[in-house]
Amino acid sequence: MITGSEPFNNPGSDFLWWRDGIIYQIYPRSFADTNSDGVGDLNGITEKLDHIATLGVDAIWISPINPSPMYDFGYDVSDYESIDPVFGNLMDFDRLIAEAHRRRIRVVMDLVLNHTSHLHPWFIASRSNRDDPKRDWYIWNDVGPSGRLPNNWQSTFGGRAWEFDPRTGQVYYHQFLKEQPDLNWRNPQVRERIYQVLRFWLNRGVDGFRLDVVMSYFKDSQFRNNPVKLFGLYAFDRQIHKYDLDQPEVISVLQDFREVLDEYPERMAVGEVIDLDMALRYVGRDKLHLAFNFDFLRQPWNAASFHRSILRYIRRLPSDAQPCFVLGNHDVNRFPSRFGAGIHSDNRTKVAATLLLTLPGTPFIYYGEEIGMQNTPIPRADIQDPPGWRFWPFYKGRDPARTPMQWTADKNSGFTTGIPWLRLNKDFQIRNVSTQNANPESILNYYKKMISLRRITPSLRQGSYQPVTGKPSQVLAYLRQYSSENCLVILNFKNRNINFLIPQPPADTVWDLRLSSRRAEPVRSSGGEFTLHPLEACIFSAIQR
């Protein structure tokens, strides 16, 4: 196990895992089940570490594993310093850390610090009476005449964000479910206790944290009404969140987090934020190491949209900040389904993977993306996700992107010998790790090649980004340059041949094709017209003539 004083990288290496590496997200309920209860567990993750190692990623981020009544599947924590029995125990966690580190894989833990479960001992004490020492650990307020609530704030999951508690005659604030009361981050005792939680896990060898909804930590101290918007499908969307999100005090807490993390070598924090402006403000030398850029999650499948999204982000990123791109996570539809499932889905998936893994910054891969897993339709009667229950049929929840990992063509795809907590995708017999490992042209083997190329090519990790196509409509192309190394990435977003004009390489060099998603034959070019296959990704390096 790594302690706070042991280096992890080889001495003299300039490879910094959270900056140069790739992080793989695991939704633990759905990854691998070893005790036949139908739910994935920590021992299942440990058993599958060799898959993660051979994929070539540098770290895993594990979605919440703390004890929880599971109203929101772990995002309602009842004990910050233990493991939920459905996943295992602290001994299992220590073993996972040790086995991951033995394979040189870092471990990032999900921490949900904006709110707790209503069954957390802190909240049980807080709601017991108005004079309890932990009363101010949560956000309580009086109701006005005729039960008028303090303001118009809405819950992200639907309904008003205030819940009346008859025991003490006040309301408490919950941005999400009423079973998820928000902590009062203005209370210094709360902040100090949370910093103790960070150190508890850092001392156990955790390498970093994914911080849930960091923009929500503070709320307006005067509880002013949010301005109202005319449009939006849900009540939460019909407000400008001026007073319940992104308050100025968030920055100071992120700086405190950074001080704690900097007490340990090579630790990091990545923040979940819903808005690009927030992501840009929350990262930097004295704040978060990374903040997710979710802009790709909203883009249609065309070169122009991705081109604009990339430039909008990179041009505004602070000079001391690291970019961070994702194509999917546990809260959104899987990207092969968003971009168009069907007969050409695998080719499209390879293009998207190439984009993710050749852009500046730290990429995150969501479990199953490496085999092209798609959304699984979940009947209403089987929905597990709370927003899916509430908003059906307008929103069918997040379950379709959380179904069990597809390992083999056997029963339940090798995920469990019990009854899976969510049904598997019907395509598991043809789309699984075992089958794709045996197929040199599979998505999985393409990911391995792409990740290997990225690891040995500094320009793809740390190089500058220069668009080749000013206003792309069919092809997205860009140069990555680091020191004297040059790479050219060309992505055909269209399902037809495209003639593309390759720029001239640097003096005394030619472009050498390092990897293509659609061809095996060698290609060298001094610039000029080049015919791209339908939905083809190509990566060229400049080599001496």
Amino acid present at 419: I
Q: Are 106 and 210 in contact (CB under 8 A)?
A: no
Q: Beta partners for 449?
A: none
Give the separation between CA 102 and CA 230, rounded to whole angstroms: 55
Q: Are strands 59-62 and 106-111 parallel, antiparallel or unpaired?
A: parallel
DSSP conformation class of 411: G
DSSP 29-60: GGT--SSSSSS--HHHHHHTHHHHHHHT-SEE
pTM above 0.85, yes or no: yes
- Secondary structure class of 314 (helix, strand, coil): helix
pLDDT in tens, 351-395: 999 999 999 999 999 999 999 999 999 999 999 998 888 888 878
The pLDDT value recorded for residue 470 is 72
Q: Name the active-site residue from 72, 76, 182, 212.
A: 212
Residues 6+ away with beta carbon under 8 Å from 201: 81, 109, 111, 209
Q: Are 301 and 342 in contact (CB under 8 A)?
A: no
Mark whether 263 is an active-site residue.
yes
Give the separation between CA 332 and CA 309, rounded to whole angstroms: 18
Q: Name the active-site residue from 192, 237, 262, 263.
A: 263
DSSP 154-205: B-TTSSBSEEEETTTTEEEE-SS-TTSPBB-TTSHHHHHHHHHHHHHHHHTT
Distances in Å between the Cα of 142 and the Cα atoms of 164, 314, 382 are 9, 45, 39
Mark whether 212 is an active-site residue.
yes
Query: Which CATH number does 17-115+188-218+250-452 carry?
Result: 3.20.20.80
All structural domains of the chain with their residue ranges: 17-115+188-218+250-452, 121-173, 464-544
As given in the structure block, the two tokens for residue 210 are: 């994914």
- Secondary structure class of 437 (helix, strand, coil): helix
**Helix H or strand E segment including 90:** helix 90-102
Q: Are strands 140-141 and 208-211 parallel, antiparallel or unpaired?
A: unpaired
The pLDDT value recorded for residue 4 is 36
Domain 464-544 CATH assignment equals 1.10.3720.10: no
Q: Are 259 and 191 in contact (CB under 8 A)?
A: no
**Cis (ω within 30 of 0) for the bond into 145?**
no
Nearest to residue 360, comparing CAs of 330, 317, 418? 317
The pLDDT value recorded for residue 202 is 99
Distances in Å between the Cα of 229 and the Cα atoms of 155, 175, 224, 236, 322 are 16, 19, 16, 10, 33
Q: Are 207 and 106 in contact (CB under 8 A)?
A: yes
Q: Are 330 and 63 in contact (CB under 8 A)?
A: yes
Nearest to residue 159, comparing CAs of 404, 463, 387? 387
Amino acid present at 511: W
The pLDDT value recorded for residue 13 is 63
Give the separation between CA 517 and CA 501, rounded to whole angstroms: 19
Residues 6+ away with beta carbon under 8 Å from 166: none
Distances in Å between the Cα of 371 and the Cα atoms of 97, 301, 429 are 25, 19, 12
Q: 3-state DSSP helix/strand/coil percent for the chain, to nearest 5?
A: 30, 20, 50
As given in the structure block, the two tokens for residue 125 are: 């004490």
Q: Are 215 and 250 in contact (CB under 8 A)?
A: yes
Distances in Å between the Cα of 349 and the Cα atoms of 336, 441, 499 are 6, 13, 21
pLDDT < 70: residue spans in the chain: 1-13
Give the separation between CA 14 and CA 274, rounded to whole angstroms: 32
The pLDDT value recorded for residue 10 is 45
Which residue's entry shows tokens 């197929």?
439
No. of helices (H) and no. of strands (E), the chain = 15, 19
Which residue's entry shows tokens 């293509």?
516
Nearest to residue 276, comparing CAs of 250, 295, 290? 295
The pLDDT value recorded for residue 5 is 33
Give the separation between CA 19 and CA 267, rounded to whole angstroms: 11
Q: How many CB atoms lie within 10 A of CB 145?
A: 5
Q: Which fold has domain 121-173?
A: Oligo-1,6-glucosidase; domain 2 (3.90.400)
